[in-house]
Amino acid sequence: MSKIKSLFDSRSFKSAFIPYFTLGDPNYNDSIEFGKTILDNGADILELGIPFSDPVADGPVIQRAVARSLKNPFSFEEIFRVTKAIHDHKPETPLVYLTYFNPIYHCGISKFLDRAKESGIVGLVIPDLPFDTEESEILFQELKVRDMDLIHLVTPASEKKRIQALSKTSSGFIYYVTSFGVTGERREFSVDLKERIKFLKDTIQLPICAGFGISTPEQSNQISQYADGIIIGSAIQRIIEENGSDRTKAVLALADYISKIRASIS
Amino acid sequence: MGKNLPGYFGEFGGRYSPEILTEALEELESTYQKLKKSKKFKKELEYYLKNYVGRPSPLTYAERLTKLWGGARIWLKREDLNHTGAHKINNAIGQALIARFMGKKRIIAETGAGQHGLATATVGAMFGMETIIYMGAVDVERQNLNAKKIEMLGAKILPVTAGEATLKEATSEAMRDWALNVSTTHYIVGSAIGPHPFPTIVRDFQSFIGTEARAEFKKRNHKLPNAIVACVGGGSNSIGMFHAFLKDKQVAIYGAEAGGLGSKPGEHSATLTYGKTGFLHGTKTLIIQDEFGQIVPAHSVSAGLDYPGVGPEHAHLSQTGRVDYRMVTDEQALDSFLEVTRVEGIIPALETAHAFHVARDVAKDLGKKKDLIICLSGRGDKDVTEVLRLLGERSK
C-alpha cells in the first residue's frame, strides 16, 4: 500500500494539510531548514518543488521563487541531497515532488524515480503531463512497481468522462485545482466549489485535495469542511520571499503560518 | 493520445499542457475539424485572404539576384506584400474566424518580432475583438515600430519582463492568461508550436504559401522548382511553404535557422542543430536545453527566430531527413539583408534574411537552368532601426 493511501486510510485529521515550497530558494541549505520547520509545525504531506525554467502553470510568486532558485547551480544531486535531509528529519511524513516533465524526462524516468525514492519521495505531481499521454502511462507503471503515486490535477473544466478515464492511472490523491488560471493567492473561489468536490468524490475513489489560490486560515477552514486536503504553495513561498534573506526570521514566520493553517483544519 | 494519433508528427507533437487547458484544446480541435469541412468557412476564409490580405501573393522572378549569385534562377514568394507585411496574417485571420465561431470575444497572442502581434491586433480591430498581445520587454524595445503599431490598432501590449524577456517568456505568459480566461478567450498561437491542435491549425492556415507557390511556378514554367528555402524559428512560414512540396521528392527543401553568435549555449537559436528532445509550451519537440532539462535562453539577431524550441513537424522533418536545416549566423543574415535590399530593391525581414543566405549557397550548388524559390516571409521595415544600430557597431 502506498504511504499516501495509508495516511488517508488511518487519518487522524479532518483535512490533510499539504504545503508546497520550491527547493533552492534562496539556497539549498536553507531549504532543508524550511522543510524541517514545515514538517515540525503540522504538514501531513509535503510537496517539494523541483525548479524548472518555464513553469507555465505557476503564477508570479512561484515563478520568482523558481528564478531565485535557478540562480544557484542546479543539479539533481543537490535536489536529492536536500530531499533526503528533509525526509530524515521526519520520515513518517510523505514527501512528493511537484515539477514539470522536461527535467524528469531528461534525467531518465527510471533513474529519476530510483533516486527520488531513495531520497524519501513517495509521489509526483506534474502539471504539464496530462494522464492521456504515452509518457504518463509509462510513468504510472514505473511508479506503481516502486509503490509510489502519480497525483493528477483535475480542474473546474474537467468533464466527467475525462475524470473517469483519469482514475485508471491516478493514485494517492486528486489535486483539485479550485479555480481557473495559475497558482497564486485569491480572495474568492468559485461558488460551486463545494458541489464540484462532492461530484469528484462521487466519481473517483481517491481523496480530493484542493489547491490553487488558498492562503488564509479562514479559507482553509471553509474548504476543509468538504475537501480531504488543503494544498498551499504561493502563500508559503511569499513568506520565504519576504524573509528569505534572514533564515531565522523566515523559519519563525513559516512556523507561525504553518501552525495556524494546521489549527484551522484540525 | 499516443504516437499514432492525430497531433503527432512521428514521435513529436502531442498535448503536454496544464489540465486547465484541455477542455479548450478539445473544443478547438472539434470546432476546427467541423469548420475544415464547412464550405461556408472555407469561402469566408478565402474571401478575407483575397480581399483583405491581398492573396494570392505573387511569385517574383529575382533577375538581379540570379545574375549576382550566378547559379539557379531565384524566385521569391512574396509574403512581404501581404497586408501587415508578413505571412502571420494568414493564420491570424483563420484563427480569429474560429474564435468568432466559438463565440469568444477576446483574443490573445504572443509575439517576438511583433509581426504576429501586429497581425493579431489587425484582425482584432477588424472583427471588433478585445486583443491582448504578450511581448518580451526586450522585443518591445528592439521591435518598437511594431509595438507602436499594435497599440495604434487598439490592442494592449503587456510587456513580459521575466527571464530573458523575449519570445519564450511571452509565450509562457500568454498560456497563463489563457488558463485564467479560457472560457472567454481564444489564444491565437502564432507559430506551428504549442499543444495539439495548434501546430496543425497553424500549418494548415499557412499552407496557402506553398500551395500557391507550387501552382504558380508550375503554371509559368511547366515544371516544379528544384529547391525551396525558408527560415525557421517556431517555423510557421516554413511549414506553410514546405507542406505542399513534401511529397515532391524531386524538390529539395531547405530550412534556415538562427546560428546567432556562435555554437555555445545561449549564443544561438539553432534548435534543429543543437536541440534535444523535450517538452516545452505544450509540445514534445527539439529544444535547446542543458544537461538537467532546463531550457537555455536562445539568441538571434532576429526577434522572430529567438526561440529555444521549434514546431514539432519540423523536428520530425529533420529527423526523417526530408528537410535539410542549416544554420546562419547573425553576421551572415545581416549581410544577406543588405545584399537583397540593394540588389532587388526589397527590404526583407531579418528572419527572412537567414533564408537568403542558405539560398545563395543552394543556388550555387544547383547551378544554372535550375530553379529555387525562397519564401520571403516578411518585410524588414520593422528591422531598420536595429540594422542601423548593428551596422554602427560593426563600423566601430
User: What's the pLDDT tens digit per position in B60-87?
Assistant: 999 999 999 999 999 999 999 999 999 9
Q: What is the mean pLDDT of residues A59-84?
A: 97
Going by the DSSP 8-state scheme, the letter that residue B228 receives in this structure is: E
Cell of A154: 483535475
Terminal Cα distance for chain B, rounded = 55
Domains of chain A: 3-264 (3.20.20.70)
Q: Does the distance separating the beta carbons of A104 and B293 come in below 8 Å? A: yes
Q: What's phi and psi for B264, nearest 5 deg?
A: -75, 150
A102-143 per-position pLDDT tens digit: 999 999 999 999 999 999 999 999 999 999 999 999 999 999
Torsion of CA B73, B79, B81, B84, to 10 degrees: -160
Domains of chain B: 18-49+88-198 (3.40.50.1100), 55-85+207-395 (3.40.50.1100)
Q: How many percent of chain A have pLDDT more than 70? A: 100
Amino acid B5: pLDDT: 62
Query: Closest Cα of chain A to B263: distance in Å?
Result: 21
Amino acid B2: pLDDT: 45
E strands in B161-226: 185-187
**For chain B, how big is the Rg over CA atoms in Å?**
19
Cell of A50: 523541483
Please determine, for residue A80, whether its predicted confidence score (pLDDT) is greater than 60. yes
Which candidate from A106, A129, A134 shows the least CB-CB separation from B289? A106
Cα distance between residue A122 and residue B191, in whole Å = 39
- What 3-state class would DSSP assign to B324? strand
Residue B183 with chain A: CB contacts under 8 Å:
157, 180
Q: Does the distance separating the beta carbons of B15 and A133 come in below 8 Å? A: yes
Q: Does the distance separating the beta carbons of A152 and B293 come in below 8 Å? A: no
Cα distance between residue B304 and residue B2, in whole Å = 31
Which candidate from B17, B23, B276 shows the least CB-CB separation from A158? B23
Handedness of CA B385, B387, B393, B396 (dihedral sign): negative
Chain centroid offset of residue B149 CA: 19
Within 32-71 of B, beta carbons closer than 8 Å to A belong to none
Residues of B labelled as active-site residues: 88, 110, 377
Going by the DSSP 8-state scheme, the letter that residue B53 receives in this structure is: I
Amino acid A186: pLDDT: 83
Q: Does the distance separating the beta carbons of A53 and B179 come in below 8 Å? A: no
Amino acid A125: pLDDT: 98
Question: Which of B16, B28, B281, B283 to substitute to test the interface with A, most A CBs within 10 Å?
Answer: B16
Cα dist from B92 to A69, A153, B183, whole Å: 37, 32, 20
Cα dist from A225 to A228, A230, A243, whole Å: 8, 10, 32
Amino acid B175: pLDDT: 92
Cα distance between residue B281 and residue B268, in whole Å = 19
In the β-sheet with B227-232, what is the strand arrangement from edge to edge?
B59-61, B73-78, B371-376, B227-232, B252-260, B323-329
What is the crossing angle of helices B198-206 and B88-101, to 10°? 120
Q: Closest Cα partner for B56 from B192, B211, B205, B204?
A: B211
Using an 8 Å Cβ cutoff, are B120 and B129 in contact? no
Please determine, for residue A237, whether its predicted confidence score (pLDDT) is greater than 60. yes
What single string gives the DSSP state of each residue in B108-162? EEEESSSHHHHHHHHHHHHHT-EEEEEEEHHHHHHTHHHHHHHHHTT-EEEEE-S
Cβ within 8 Å of residue A220, ≥6 positions away:
A15, A17, A214, A230, A232, A261, A264, A265
Mean pLDDT, chain A, as a whole number?
Answer: 95
What pTM was computed for the model? 0.96
Cell of A205: 475513489
Question: Which of A61, A102, A105, A154 to substitute to test the interface with B, most B CBs within 10 Å?
Answer: A102
Q: At residue A102, what is the residue type?
A: N
For chain B, which residues score pLDDT lower than 50? 1-2
Cα distance between residue B298 and residue B305, in whole Å = 9
Which candidate from B168, B176, B182 shows the least CB-CB separation from A157? B182
This model of the complex carries an ipTM of: 0.95
Whether the CB of B168 is below 8 Å from some CB of chain A: the reply is yes
Whether the CB of B279 is below 8 Å from some CB of chain A: the reply is yes
Amino acid B4: pLDDT: 53
Cell of A90: 521526519
Q: Does the distance separating the beta carbons of B18 and A132 come in below 8 Å? A: no
Residue of A nearest to B296 (CA): A53
- What 3-state class would DSSP assign to A49? strand
Cell of B205: 492556415
Whether the CB of B5 is below 8 Å from some CB of chain A: the reply is no
